[in-house]
Structures are given as C-alpha cells and as structure tokens.
Structure 1
C-alpha cells in the first residue's frame, strides 16, 4: 500500500474529480490556435496557419491528461487512439494507423526503442519528464521520413536549454500524485539554473502502480462465451492480473549559449518494469541510456537564416522475464542525426533543406525470438519551401530515402539476407485565409514507405499477439496517396477546426491469417502481405465560449471623478465538443482492416473563476462491429470524468492542488485498437489527487 491509503483517496473522490486550475487565457481556443509548434514547421507558423492539423499539449492541459504511458496520455486527442497493451505499454495510433506509420520523436530525433516491433514494448519516454507533446496528424513525410503517413508525435523536454538563464535563483517544478484505481504514487521534479552563457538542467521521476481495479471480468463476455475456461479455473474479476508497473528515470543537460547560437548536450536514462497482462507470469524489464546533442547557428551568412543540428544516440535493452527466469531479450543500439539549413527569402521562396542519417543494430535473443539480428540504416535528403502570396500560403517539398536492412546468418533463421530500398515522397499544400479569423488548409501527398525489418524477416512465435509471424523478404515499398482538408476558426463565440482525410494505399503491408497453425507452438500463422487499402474519416474540435472574462474600465464624470468603478468578471465557461471517425478497408474485398477505432465523441463543460476551476466531461465510443474475421466485436461505452482544482501562490512559488476522477460510473470499456481488448479492459472508477509547485 502506498503512503496514501485507499480510504483516503476514495474520500477525496467525494470532492468530484479534477481538472487542473487554468486561467481563461490559458484555456482559450483562440490562444491555442495562435500557439507556435516546432514539428513540421520551419517558418514559425501558428497552429492556425499550419497546413497539417496539429495538436499541442503543454502546461496544465498536459498535466490534466497525463497518464503513465504516452499512448494513453494522447488517447483523448482528436484522431488519436492507443494500442493500450495494459498499463505498462501503449503507443499512439493516429487515424487508425500505428506501428511504423506513426513516428515518435524525442526533441526532433527518433526515440530509438523497439515500441514499433511489438505492442507489448513500451515507448522509452515517460510523460512525467516532458514539457510538451506535439501531434501532427497526416503525412509529415518531408521532414521526418516515409514512416509518418499517419503522423508524427514529438515529445519535447528542457534537458538542452536554448535560451540564457535570466533569473537570480534556480527555477524548477516539483509534482506528486496518488491514485485509487491502481494505487498510483508518483513524484517528479526538474530544476534549471545558469550563469552567463552556461545553463544547466536536471530532472528525475519515479512512478509505482499496483494491479489496476476493473469494473467486472478481465475477459470480455464475447470471449468468455467463445472460449470458456476449463472446469475448475476461475475468471479474473475486479482486478487485472499482472498489470503492476514501476518506472524511474533522470536526465542531466547543459548548454553554452551565445548571441548567435547555442550548443548543448544531455544524458538521460529510464528503467521500467511492468507486467505484460497477456501472460500471467511474464514481466518486462526495460532500460535505455541516451545521449543527445543539439545546437544552432543563427545568420551565419546573409542568405542563411539558421543552421540547426541534432544527434541522438541510444543503448536500449528489454528483457522478458518468465517468473524469475530470463526469457527473450531485445537489444537495439543506434543513432539518429539530422542537419537543417533554413534560408532567407530567395525571390518568393522561403524554406529549408537538410540531411538525416539513421543507423541501428537490432537483436532478439531467446527461445521466443521471432526476428533475426538486423543492421538497419537510412540516409535521407529533403527540401521544403513556402510561397506566401497575400491571403494564400503555398507549401511544397520532396524527400529521398535510401534504406538498407541486412540480417546476420543464424541457425534458427538461416543465411543472412540483405534488402535495399529507395523511397521518394513529395507533397504540396495551400493555406487560404479568406477573412482574418478563418483558414482553409488543403494538402496532397505521395509517399513510398520501405517495409520494416519485422515485415521483411519475421519468422517465429510472437506470444504477445498470440500469433506465429512470417515476414516476406520480397515485399516492395508501400505506396500511398493522401488528401487532407481542414477548416479553422480562431476567435469569436465559437472556435475550433474540422478536418477530413483520405489515404489510398496500393501496397498496404498487414499481417494476415493463412489458415495454418504452427505445429510446434500451436499458434495461428500470420503472414505479412501487401494489399490495396483505403482509409478515410475526419475530426472535429470545437469550443463554444458560453461565458468569457470581462473587464471594463471605470467611467469618469465631467470633473474627472469616478462615476462608475471598474467592473471585472473572471467567470469563464466553455463547452468543448470533440469527435473523430476512421473507416479502413481492403479496397478489393471490402473487408475491414484490423484494430481500427470506432466513432468517438466527447462533450465537456470547463469552468474557471480566478484560481478555481472545474470540469465535467462525457466520453462516448461507439461499438466496433466492422472488424477482421479473426477479431471479436467491441461494445460501446460511455465514460464520465469530472474535476476541481485550485491555484495558490506562496511568495515566488505557484502551487496547484487538483483532484481528478475518471470513469466515475465504473463503466466496462475496451479499446478496439488493442490486441488485449478481450482480456484487459481499461481501469474502473478512479480518483487521482496531486500537487504541482513551480518556482
């Protein structure tokens, strides 16, 4: 039991549940659309001006949505769901596309883990350590590669400072929280200090949870009916077995900053142990040690606006323990480096061009290894340009990638193989502002994605997914054509955006059942195949500003005296509507693509008055009956969340007290995007209480 008992946390639940305290200015959708992001943006454009639909989580918004994994933290964002492989491992799924079609970056370079190899592998970034998350929906292929057709998720931290420290004393942030549904106990902290051109940053975190509480049975009604347990065995009920987690990590960085640039380095590590849920006695121990370098030189020549460079190096290992015995080990060591040159305006053109190089050595060792040792390298060049013309902004560019994958000879997998791929991607877009506060964005992209080493060389039992996977070394590039249309409004009583998309794949690579069963493992055989596929859908994110803060100056009489005092109303009330939908199917047969999210919508009332805030939210997910033949249908669900929060300032310390409750009606909810949906529902009724202090 953690330092706060379940009874105390349950009592706190009577307070309702919490959203962090937020001022009207911080939650204003107009301000949100005026925020500047760094991902896929080389001209300091705001969210309102971007061609790609983009979401930014930062500050108290990030704190409110914070979950133990990156996928669950982003799960409520429009167009974003998660793989939801238990509480310890969850990767974002964007517009129904996951795995290697969504690239996860850490400060603009690859996260360098194996989360794209299997859904039970956690992302090696903990949300407690990050300052913001940027989600770019749609193809961001030009700057970040062909494996971004679904989108880019860029997590940003402060480990390498880019601005001089201006304070006399160190600044920082400390937070702690406790939770009832999983006996959560977490602590995190960060501190920044400096003198002159030198600035340093130190952060750390620790999180522990027990097995999560669930509303009913771990196995779904459909699975219990289709596959009843043998006589004498009892169904897990009330608690999800083997779902406890423990994560900890720290990072240290520093920069030398001068008037025309900066150069910084950081070293960080994360260790995580979590139950796989798929197997009752298997846990995973994850460890990553990472070095990063980032820097920039501003205006080194009259025609160069900026040269920036980044390099990330990672040594990652991941061990699957069967009880106390070491089972399969996954190792990956490599780097990702990129350099970009942003040029000054040349005629009507302004933009950037650059080079990126990636290399990693991957190994899977043990009886259940389903992949041989593979050396992978990708070298890329890209160019991105913009042409602003009055109310229009044209964007276009291209990228060339050369990928090599070479396996080592192995007794289990046979002689070594080598495959080389050349991929070309190009896109064009336009942003039109017909009037001041409205924008229409349209983009068209063509992408060639080389297959991953999993899709090429897999040949063995994959216990996490319950399949025997077989790759195809003769696969060619996955070609796709995508169209994206967005309409945005940034001020007035109603603000927000509406987006629609269509992706047409000619060779969508997917693991398909062959009908055979491996005689040794007893698992169904799935082979990676290329098939024609269509994805289409859209997202809505709208805020109705029902009450807005009002400030009126005092009214003076003829002699200059005050006739009426200043009037101030700090009340703010927003009604926030969000919805998204994806339809994905084999274009030839009309059969659904597996693990696609259903229609989802949410409605929230968000109130603020000075330091106090409150929120009431309902989330609905429709049933998913369009599923692959080997999947079971997923029932609909409706979740109720609510919250209160309060800000207090003690001297120079700003403290936020909050209590938030999730799934207050204790609804059974399962994610259709998860391999584990029929054995692992999401957590039941839970309350989280926390304190955040900044100075």
Structure 2
C-alpha cells in the first residue's frame, strides 16, 4: 500500500470518530499497570487450553500502552529475564536469559517473521508495537513447535489481521482503535489506527501507523560529525527515524473453522548511530494465508494450515550514495493437526498437536560491506507437543526433528544439518479451595540443537555494526544445549509471587571470538565464529503485594480510596565461556525493581525504579565495563466511557533524575567507546487511545 494511503487512512480515522481500539478485554476500568505473568492465553500455543502449563509472559491493554517503545526490544526490556540488545533507539531485539540474536524466535501471529534482524545488530525488526494487540513470551516444551531458533524462547507479536474467532453476531458491527502519541526523549510523533468490521460470516481488518522521531535526548554532551563538521549536543547523533506501515486482512468464518488472507507493508528510514553519515532504508512486504478446520471429518479436533511469504530489503546509504544492500525473500508453510483429547476414567486427559513445517529463504548482499555471500537456506521439520493433565497437575513433552541445508551461492557449497530437540516439563498444583490459593510448582528440561546460520558458516568481510572483520567457519557444528529450570508461583487472594531458577549448558555454543590479528585491507580486528562450551545460570522473580484496599491488604483494608499494590521484580544471569575461561559478552547485570501501583475506578498510577548493578564481567581485559545505575519512572492512566466510546489517556515519565546510564547488552558500548550512546534521558510522553 502506498504512503499516501497510509497517511490518508490515519488522518481520516483520527478526524472521524476517534473510536478505534484493540479488542481489549472489558474488565474493570482501573487496569493495573503491571505485567500479567499468569492466567494468559498463548496464541502461539495451538492446544487452546488455558490450563496448559506454559512458562509465559504477556503484555496487552494499558500495560502494553505504558511500556510501548519504538522497538520490540525496548518494549519488553526489564520484564523479568528479558533485556534489550539496543543499537541506539531505532533497533532492538529482546535478549532472554542471556541469549540473543537467532537464538530467539520472533513470530508474527504465530508465523515466521522472515527478517534478517539476527544477521546484524543494526538491522531493525520490522514489527511496530503501535499496531500490536498483544505480545507473548513463550518458553518450555512448546517452543519446539517453532524451530531451532527458539532455543532461547519465542516472542509472538499478535495483531489479529486474520480473525480466528467471531467478534460480531449476524447483525454485524464495527470496532477499532486510534492511538496518538507525542513526546519522549526522541520527541516522538506517532499515530496508529485499526478498524474491523463484519458479521458472523466474514471480517475485514485494516490498520496503519505513522511514527517519526528526532535525535534521542541523553544526559551528556556528545560529539556529532556531519560532512566533516563536528558539533556538540545533548542528543545522539544520527538517531532520528521515520516509519510507516499498513495492512489489510479478510477472513471467512464457517461453522467449523475459518479461512483468512492478509497483506502488510512496513517502511522505515533510520540513522545508524555508529556512523553519523549513514542512514538505513528498510522495506518489508508480507502476505499470509491461514485456515483451520475444526472437527475435521470426525477424525481430528482441528486441522490448521498457515502459509506466509516475505520480501525484505535493507539498504544502507552513506550520505547520498547507495551502499550495501541486503535482500531476503522467504516463505513458510505449516500444517498442524490436533487429535481429539484422550480422556480416562481416573480424570486424566492427554491432548496434543503434531505438525510439519517447511521454511526457505534466499539472502543476497551487495556492496562494500557485503560480509556474507549470497545464500539459500531450506529447512523441513516435524514436531509434536503433548500435555497429560492429571488430578495433581500436568506433564508435558515436545519433540522436533529437522533437516536444514545452507548453501553458499557463490561457491555452490552445501552444508547439511539434522537438528533434533526434545523437552519435558511438569507442573504440580498445590493450590486449594475455590480461590485456588497456594503454590504451583513447575520444572522443564530440554535437550536442544540449532543449525548454524549462513553468517556463522560463510561470513568473510568487514562488519561496521560490530567494528570487526567477521569470518565464519564452514566446519562449524550445530549448537547443542541442555537447559533446565525450576520455579514456583504462589497466590493468596490479591497477593502473588513467582520465582524461577535456570541453568543452560552448551556443549557447543557458536560465539564470535577474537583471533588476535587484524585485517590489513580494512584495518579491523578479525573475529571468527567458533564453537565453545558455555554455561548460563540465573534467576528471575516477581511479586505483587496488596498493601491497601480489601480485607487481605497488608497495611489497611480501607478500599474507599482505591487499592495500592507493591510490585517487585528481580533477575540476574551469569554467562561463562568455559572453553576460554572468561565471561560471554553483552550480558545484562543483576537488576531489581519496585513499583507502587495505585488504582481507583477510572484512575491508575505507577511510581517506581529499576536498579541495574555494575557489569564488570567482560570477555577480555580492556573491554568496556558499565557502572550501576537507578532509573526512576512514573505513569498515569485515566479511562472513561462516553457515548459507547472507551477513552484511555496516559502519561509516561522516564528517567526522572536524568541519570547517565549505559547498556551492557549493546554492542555499541564496546565498539564506540566514550562516544557510545547512553540510555535515554529524562522524558515525558503523552498518549490517547479511543475505542468502541
């Protein structure tokens, strides 16, 4: 769709009725600002059973509105166990339990995203949180449904462009959302809109967004060199951005299933903060067909297919010239069959899904910084996930077998791999009574394998994002990991707490390692992908305690002035390269945080802090360490209804003390030295959502 259509649609929606919204839940008007860690529906989990034990986090509703950043990584940053691998304010992928890049599988509506954001730190994820209804984070055996790149977890971004359930009756109707945002450290101006209309037989979905930002404001004076002229400013040089996107989807709904199509386009132009004269232009077009047949011929509970095709291009522009260009075209086909649940007289029930998946993509890189050759990757897989429900809890298991071929198109060399992964899990429910108070214990154990990516095999050239000359190794073997976690969740009325410990041991972890030599042509240090033994150990926890309001409040039972909760969170991970006896790079330090959350009918407010400890564990002497810091933040929401329209007004205040802080998970902290961009300075962002 053209840029004219996108902006015309957004303007018309904003000036029309201002009554657009996600299909948010119709719960209490005072929606807590904290993240929901339990009782979530996992769209990426095809069993469609809320009782299935899945280690998950979810952001939606006002919690998503408050946390929403310009990138997926920024939006999820500081959730327990999750950090942001930021490359400035315009690029950021989630880091989960110390694992990043192509070890994290990013899905769009449970389908492959098909970008190349894992190839380089300066490649953005072409998914904008502004058009997102819900974000889910998935771990455990169910991740094996989605590929070897899910070895660290799955992030599923939901936008409902294909309707899977009926939203309207036979008379028909319309729902939608418009959202306006302004402010922040990057002086953001953004508008997003969505409209759905239809009846019980068909649904039409249209959405669009427009986002622009200026250079990011930070708490220090920085040098900025443009066209040979150096100036100083309290902003990150070349960090502005402009992004637009639009999508249309249509679904036919049947008595026993649905069939839907969607097409979307994402465009973005942003500065790469590592080079003050380089901008990046990105374009992604994505088409999806999806359908499900329930009660399939009396043999299956459901039979589902999903097909997707992506055309992606990423061009780097040094000044007005055209530099290196990355083109990626890919497809995905998934078939999932859900047999009828097997029930026994003793109350036990077995429910599962089996399926096949085929993915293929062709990557072409042209230009002076073409550090990877043209390549083609094809993978075929079979998978299953089974859950046994008992009177005392659940047992779950998953398995995935793949055949992966990676071809160097320049040399014609094929590398073949056969990853096999298996995982088991268990949940023991100790909760009692109608309120289900008490403990719920869970544990998961997995043996995972991941085929090397094309750049880990064939890279051979200068990589500006890392400031190195990267070299792959065609003899690299598959990554192999054994992962185990043990956790518990406790609930007593409004009080909740959870804690999980984990350990991941890699018999072969593909790591970019210094060779100790320089490339003479580009005068860059040579780094090579090497398999090493590695271990990651950590913990993540959260708690919500009702302090005021209600009979079980710890301080006061008086609820006439609303409710006051204390939300706590903490996490840490220790990651070591056991082969070279040194830490792995770009690991988040120990973090703790607390928020006071107040809700009273239409109002809700939050005030709290996140403290990150110093990170002195770096791979080599001379690598940059990061000091500890504390960021104070606040938020305010007001929700009301008028003439059938639901309004949400919110304000977000970040880094109230203008604290100077640096990210240990950003490669820029190492490559740019004293001119590395710090985290954003003090800012205020205002927003409005209107829905019907």
TM-score, normalising length: structure 1: 0.89
Counterpart CA distance in 1 for 2:492 and 2:175 is 34
1:302–1:29 distance in 2 versus 1, CA, 3 Å: farther
1:141–1:274 distance in 2 versus 1, CA, 3 Å: same
Match of 2:186 in 1: 182
Residue range with higher mean Cα deviation, 487-496 or 54-63: 487-496
Q: Is residue 42 of structure 1 aligned with residue 47 of structure 2?
A: yes
Match of 2:155 in 1: 153
Q: Is residue 684 of structure 1 aligned with residue 681 of structure 2?
A: yes
* 1:140 Cα deviation from its structure 2 partner: 4.6
Q: Is residue 624 of structure 1 aligned with residue 605 of structure 2?
A: no
Match of 1:172 in 2: 176
SS in 2 for 1:27: coil
Counterpart CA distance in 2 for 1:381 and 1:498 is 33
Are the aligned partners of 2:177 and 2:193 in contact in 1 as well (CA < 8 Å)?
Answer: yes
Counterpart CA distance in 2 for 1:169 and 1:41 is 28
Match of 1:597 in 2: 588
Counterpart CA distance in 1 for 2:177 and 2:475 is 52
Are the aligned partners of 1:395 and 1:429 in contact in 2 as well (CA < 8 Å)?
Answer: yes
Match of 1:295 in 2: 291
In the TM superposition, what whole-angstrom CA distance separates every residue of 1:170-228 from its partner, at most 9, and x where no partner exists? 21110101114212110000000013411100000000100011101448xxxxxxxxx
Counterpart CA distance in 1 for 2:181 and 2:30 is 26
* 1:496 Cα deviation from its structure 2 partner: 2.6
Counterpart CA distance in 2 for 1:150 and 1:30 is 21
Are the aligned partners of 2:143 and 2:154 in contact in 1 as well (CA < 8 Å)?
Answer: no
Q: Is residue 658 of structure 1 aligned with residue 614 of structure 2?
A: no
1:137–1:217 distance in 2 versus 1, CA, 3 Å: farther
Are the aligned partners of 1:549 and 1:570 in contact in 2 as well (CA < 8 Å)?
Answer: no
* 1:45 Cα deviation from its structure 2 partner: 2.8
SS in 2 for 1:326: coil
Are the aligned partners of 1:659 and 1:688 in contact in 2 as well (CA < 8 Å)?
Answer: yes
Match of 1:33 in 2: 38
1:175–1:43 distance in 2 versus 1, CA, 3 Å: closer
* 1:665 Cα deviation from its structure 2 partner: 0.4
Counterpart CA distance in 2 for 1:234 and 1:289 is 38
In the TM superposition, what whole-angstrom CA distance separates every residue of 1:280-303 from its partner, at most 9, and x where no partner exists? 000100000110111111111434
Structure-to-structure mapping, 1:528-539, within 5 angstroms: 528-539=529-540
SS in 2 for 1:147: helix
* 1:497 Cα deviation from its structure 2 partner: 1.2
Matched length: 642
SS in 2 for 1:142: helix
Counterpart CA distance in 1 for 2:497 and 2:43 is 20
SS in 2 for 1:581: strand
* Residue among 572, 596, 612 paired with 2:603: 612
Match of 1:581 in 2: 572
SS in 1 for 2:127: coil
SS in 1 for 2:473: coil
SS in 1 for 2:64: helix
Counterpart CA distance in 1 for 2:608 and 2:397 is 40
Match of 1:203 in 2: 207
Residue range with higher mean Cα deviation, 239-248 or 381-390: 381-390
Residue range with higher mean Cα deviation, 476-485 or 567-576: 567-576
Are the aligned partners of 2:33 and 2:604 in contact in 1 as well (CA < 8 Å)?
Answer: no
Are the aligned partners of 1:38 and 1:44 in contact in 2 as well (CA < 8 Å)?
Answer: no
Are the aligned partners of 1:141 and 1:399 in contact in 2 as well (CA < 8 Å)?
Answer: no
SS in 1 for 2:305: strand
Are the aligned partners of 2:566 and 2:596 in contact in 1 as well (CA < 8 Å)?
Answer: yes
SS in 2 for 1:545: strand
Match of 2:197 in 1: 193
Runs of 4+ in 1 over 6 A off after TM superposition: 28-31, 232-235
Are the aligned partners of 2:481 and 2:507 in contact in 1 as well (CA < 8 Å)?
Answer: yes
In the TM superposition, what whole-angstrom CA distance separates every residue of 1:153-172 from its partner, at most 9, and x where no partner exists? 00011111122323754211
Counterpart CA distance in 2 for 1:628 and 1:235 is 34
Match of 1:261 in 2: 257
Match of 1:119 in 2: 121
Match of 2:341 in 1: 345
Counterpart CA distance in 2 for 1:236 and 1:380 is 53
TM-score, normalising length: structure 2: 0.89
1:182–1:240 distance in 2 versus 1, CA, 3 Å: same
Residue range with higher mean Cα deviation, 300-309 or 153-162: 300-309
Counterpart CA distance in 2 for 1:397 and 1:568 is 46
In the TM superposition, what whole-angstrom CA distance separates every residue of 1:120-154 from its partner, at most 9, and x where no partner exists? 00001111111100012456542111211211000
Match of 1:555 in 2: none
Are the aligned partners of 1:369 and 1:460 in contact in 2 as well (CA < 8 Å)?
Answer: yes
1:117–1:244 distance in 2 versus 1, CA, 3 Å: same
* 1:40 Cα deviation from its structure 2 partner: 3.8
In the TM superposition, what whole-angstrom CA distance separates every residue of 1:340-381 from its partner, at most 9, and x where no partner exists? 111112365321100011000101111110011001101000
Bigger relative contact order (CA 8 A; separation at least 6): 1
1:664–1:139 distance in 2 versus 1, CA, 3 Å: farther
1:539–1:41 distance in 2 versus 1, CA, 3 Å: farther
* 1:388 Cα deviation from its structure 2 partner: 1.6
Q: Is residue 503 of structure 1 aligned with residue 499 of structure 2?
A: no
Match of 2:7 in 1: none
* 1:339 Cα deviation from its structure 2 partner: 1.1
Structure 2 residues without counterparts, runs of 5 or longer? 1-25, 344-348, 553-557
1:122–1:408 distance in 2 versus 1, CA, 3 Å: same
Match of 1:10 in 2: none
SS in 1 for 2:78: coil
Are the aligned partners of 1:160 and 1:264 in contact in 2 as well (CA < 8 Å)?
Answer: yes
Counterpart CA distance in 2 for 1:28 and 1:247 is 27
Q: Is residue 365 of structure 1 aligned with residue 356 of structure 2?
A: no
Counterpart CA distance in 2 for 1:603 and 1:216 is 27
Are the aligned partners of 1:22 and 1:611 in contact in 2 as well (CA < 8 Å)?
Answer: no
1:490–1:266 distance in 2 versus 1, CA, 3 Å: farther
Are the aligned partners of 1:30 and 1:490 in contact in 2 as well (CA < 8 Å)?
Answer: no
Match of 1:133 in 2: 135
Match of 1:670 in 2: 662
Match of 1:15 in 2: none
* Residue among 101, 108, 111 paired with 2:110: 108
* 1:28 Cα deviation from its structure 2 partner: 9.1
Counterpart CA distance in 2 for 1:286 and 1:650 is 40
Counterpart CA distance in 2 for 1:626 and 1:264 is 49
1:362–1:95 distance in 2 versus 1, CA, 3 Å: same
* 1:393 Cα deviation from its structure 2 partner: 0.8
SS in 2 for 1:64: helix
Are the aligned partners of 1:607 and 1:613 in contact in 2 as well (CA < 8 Å)?
Answer: yes
Counterpart CA distance in 1 for 2:316 and 2:492 is 51
Counterpart CA distance in 1 for 2:420 and 2:336 is 19
Q: Is residue 317 of structure 1 aligned with residue 320 of structure 2?
A: no
Residue range with higher mean Cα deviation, 142-151 or 235-244: 235-244
* 1:470 Cα deviation from its structure 2 partner: 0.2
Alignment RMSD: 2.2
Residue range with higher mean Cα deviation, 102-111 or 298-307: 298-307
Counterpart CA distance in 1 for 2:460 and 2:580 is 27
Counterpart CA distance in 1 for 2:235 and 2:272 is 14
